[in-house]
Amino acid sequence: MALSLLPFLLLSSLFLLNQPLSTTANIHRATNFRSELISERKTSTNPPLTTKFEVTKPIKLPKTKPCSYFLLQHDFGFTYGQPPAFANYTPPSNCPSQNFTTIVLELKGKSKGIQYDRIFGVWLGGVELLRSCTAEPTPTGIDWTIKKDITRYYSLLMTNQTLAVYLGNSVDSSRTGVYDLSLTFHFYPAEVPHKSYEPKLGNSVSGYSSVADLILPISRNLPLNDGLWFQIQNSIDKQSKMFNIPQNAYRAVLEVYVSFHESDEFWYTNFPNEYIAANNLTNTPGNGAFREVVVSLDGMTVGAVWPFTVIYTGGFSPLLWSPITGIGSFNLPSYDIEITPFLGKILDGKSHEFAFSVTNALNVWYIDANLHVWLDKKSVKTEGQLLRLNSLPPVVTPESNFTDLNGKFLISASRSISSTGWVRSSHGKITTNSIQSLNYSNIIVVGSDGDLTTVNQIINFNDSVYAMLPSSSTYSIRSFKRFPLSLYFRYVDQGNGFNSFVTNITLGFNEEKVKDADIGVLASSLKNLQDGHVVSVAKGNLQVSRLWSTKQAYQYDGTEFCYFRNVTSTNDTILYDKEGNTCSKKI
């Protein structure tokens, strides 16, 4: 009974635990689970696909030949608690052109053996470029490739820096997989030479849509034997970093990277503490199912992140994520918080502090950020003032009703953060208003004395930034994100020692974006939905059969291009795969 009540623990990936203290029993089961899975794959009639992939749109590239630079190859074996792998980075020097339209990070991964999924990060000069999870290996070997558009880090990429890659792995006789990663950057010259990077959208609130002139790391300083992320271990833990910005800044955006692990890997399934206590449950992570990352600047709350529920490649059942991996698992989303309204508070040439905390957190959250700063080339000093800041704590309404193991737990939450401030630069006196508006609902139902668990969650995450000139021209960037998640776990004792376990998962990432300027509108819409099922039958501790399937529908509609892909897999074989560039609607 306890087994089915805690499917999350049993099937969790636990990939960060090296020498875990409290969850050893679960790790043991998870390890068994994996080796059985692999032996079943070996005897399958369909050879498993060795290349794992995440469904995503292609990167829009110019028609020029890229200058490509191989940066680093490293075998990550005994790397847990060790320094990251380093390489010296120098900007392209022998490339015929020095002006690039697009810069792409390409990461190739390979592994063979048995191993947990592992989180890793890539940093350039302490600025995080990629947060990612490995694919899980098999004894015959697997590989995967990630491509990420890193053009927004342009200014950083034009300077000498230290590149760092941290992937904490550990290898022993039962976990044999070493992760072999290689990293290459591709620089695509502009189609029209002698023209530096320029965004497609011109606008009258000048400078608002280009890339930043300076990117400051809000991460842990080297040297250290770990990743450069901060580790948030509980609900009162706060991690911070001092920084200085040049006094001629006129815009700033904080890009936040977030991932959740161990007791909070599946935070959206965590039960209320009173339920755990009343049923004497052990090794069951609690604090309920609501989490928010809070970002503060000199003690003021400047933004919040209600993160997308990335499920790593070992999450719930590794079968679900092979060969099609979970949304965002190879390239975790980062979240932008507009800091421009606060510039007036930090343009004094002194040091200021960004801090991160996570409401209700359990060990452990990995968080860091990059501060993108735009500089006024025509002045040495800009000035500004924060006019208004409205940020009340979230309104969280938990309801729980249970008798013994059966119960229903509801949480709804909402909050908004709005800041307004002006900055005077050679671009004029621009007033910026940034609004985050978020709401959340989560319903967990436990039935059949713990043999049935369902989770239904929705996060709505809206961000808007309005920049206004006195002449009344306005530039705006608005993003509407919606993250639905639905989980179903059912354990059935079928008699004669047989039992079955069903896992169904629906996971969606939807985002509509609109950028308005006097000159035009740039808009895009993304609908990305995954649907996965696993049925496993066991006799006692012995697996009798497992079958699984994943279905994904991806539709991106943009002003510049559209892309769709529908793909279905069963038991590691692709059954249906269709992609194209038709739009689903007129943008």
Spatial contact of 477 and 487, defined as CB atoms under 8 Å apart? no
CB of 33 to ligand NAG, least distance (A): 16
Site string for ligand NAG, 259-298 (x = CB under 6 A): --------------------xx------------------
Tell me how far apart the alpha carbons of residues 62 and 97 are, in angstroms, rounded to a whole number: 13
86 is a site residue for ligand NAG (CB under 6 A): no
553 is a site residue for ligand NAG (CB under 6 A): yes
Tell me how far apart the alpha carbons of residues 557 and 216 are, in angstroms, rounded to a whole number: 32
Tell me how far apart the alpha carbons of residues 477 and 375 are, in angstroms, rounded to a whole number: 20
Question: Between 231 and 571, whose beta carbon lies closer to ligand NAG?
Answer: 571
Tell me how far apart the alpha carbons of residues 533 and 404 are, in angstroms, rounded to a whole number: 29
Q: Which stretch binds ligand NAG (CB under 6 A): 241-249, 358-366, 373-381, 563-571?
A: 563-571
Tell me how far apart the alpha carbons of residues 469 and 74 are, in angstroms, rounded to a whole number: 50
460 is a site residue for ligand NAG (CB under 6 A): yes
CA angle 362, 368, 374 (to 5 degrees): 150
Q: Which stretch binds ligand NAG (CB under 6 A): 67-75, 91-99, 118-126, 296-304?
A: 91-99
Total residues interacting with ligand NAG, rule: CB under 6 A: 34
CB of 44 to ligand NAG, least distance (A): 7
249 is a site residue for ligand NAG (CB under 6 A): no
Three-state SS string across 78-142, please? CCCCCCCEEEEECCCCCCCCCCEEEEEEEEEEEECCCCCCCEEEEEECCEEEEEEECCCCCCCCE
**Which residue in 458, 469, 514, 587 binds ligand NAG (CB under 6 A)?**
458
Question: Between 386 and 458, whose beta carbon lies closer to ligand NAG?
Answer: 458
Question: Between 48 and 246, whose beta carbon lies closer to ligand NAG?
Answer: 48
Question: Between 343 and 477, whose beta carbon lies closer to ligand NAG?
Answer: 477
Ranges within 348-407 binding ligand NAG (CB under 6 A): 401
Helix (H, G, I), strand (E, B) or coil at 26: helix
Closest CA to 130 of 165, 92, 158: 165
**Which residue in 247, 412, 473, 510 binds ligand NAG (CB under 6 A)?**
412
Question: Between 27 and 553, whose beta carbon lies closer to ligand NAG?
Answer: 553
Task: DSSP for 469-493, please give it.
Answer: -TT--EEEEEEEEEEEEEEEEEEEE
Q: Which stretch binds ligand NAG (CB under 6 A): 108-116, 176-184, 266-274, 565-573?
A: 565-573
211 is a site residue for ligand NAG (CB under 6 A): no
**Which residue in 90, 235, 244, 351 binds ligand NAG (CB under 6 A)?**
90
CB of 271 to ligand NAG, least distance (A): 14
99 is a site residue for ligand NAG (CB under 6 A): yes
Buried b (16+ CB within 10 A) or exposed e, 25-59: ebbebbeebbebbbebbeeeeeebebebbbbbbee
DSSP 332: -
Question: Between 101 and 170, whose beta carbon lies closer to ligand NAG?
Answer: 101
Question: Between 408 and 424, whose beta carbon lies closer to ligand NAG?
Answer: 408
Site string for ligand NAG, 37-66 (x = CB under 6 A): ---------x--------------------
196 is a site residue for ligand NAG (CB under 6 A): yes
464 is a site residue for ligand NAG (CB under 6 A): no
500 is a site residue for ligand NAG (CB under 6 A): no
Site string for ligand NAG, 148-177 (x = CB under 6 A): ------------x-----------------
545 is a site residue for ligand NAG (CB under 6 A): yes
Q: What is the largest CA-CA distance in the chain?
A: 81
48 prior amide bond cis, ω within 30: no
Question: Between 282 and 471, whose beta carbon lies closer to ligand NAG?
Answer: 282
Tell me how far apart the alpha carbons of residues 20 and 24 are, in angstroms, rounded to a whole number: 6
Ranges within 511-540 binding ligand NAG (CB under 6 A): 533
DSSP 269: G
- Letter for the amino acid at 12? S
Question: Between 160 and 496, whose beta carbon lies closer to ligand NAG?
Answer: 160
Tell me how far apart the alpha carbons of residues 496 and 493 are, in angstroms, rounded to a whole number: 9
570 is a site residue for ligand NAG (CB under 6 A): yes
CB of 162 to ligand NAG, least distance (A): 11
Tell me how far apart the alpha carbons of residues 167 and 80 are, in angstroms, rounded to a whole number: 7
DSSP 154: H
Question: Between 158 and 224, whose beta carbon lies closer to ligand NAG?
Answer: 158
H or E element: which one contains 462?
strand 452-468
Question: Between 150 and 459, whose beta carbon lies closer to ligand NAG?
Answer: 459
Burial of 18 (0-12, 13-18, 19+ CB in 10 A): exposed
**Which residue in 68, 359, 488, 583 binds ligand NAG (CB under 6 A)?**
488
Tell me how far apart the alpha carbons of residues 253 and 214 are, in angstroms, rounded to a whole number: 11
Beta bridge partners of 111: 142
| Helix then strand then coil, % of the chain, to nearest 5 | 10, 50, 40
Question: Between 199 and 470, whose beta carbon lies closer to ligand NAG?
Answer: 199
- In the chain the first and final C-alpha atoms are separated, in Å, by 51
Ranges within 433-452 binding ligand NAG (CB under 6 A): 437-439, 441
Question: Between 111 and 317, whose beta carbon lies closer to ligand NAG?
Answer: 317
Cα separation values, 125 from 128, 245, 346, 357, Å? 8, 16, 22, 24
Residues of the shown chain interacting with ligand NAG in the complex, contacts defined by CB under 6 A: 46, 90, 97-99, 160, 193-196, 279-280, 401, 412, 437-439, 441, 458, 460, 462, 480, 488, 502, 504, 533, 545, 547, 553, 564, 566, 570-571, 578
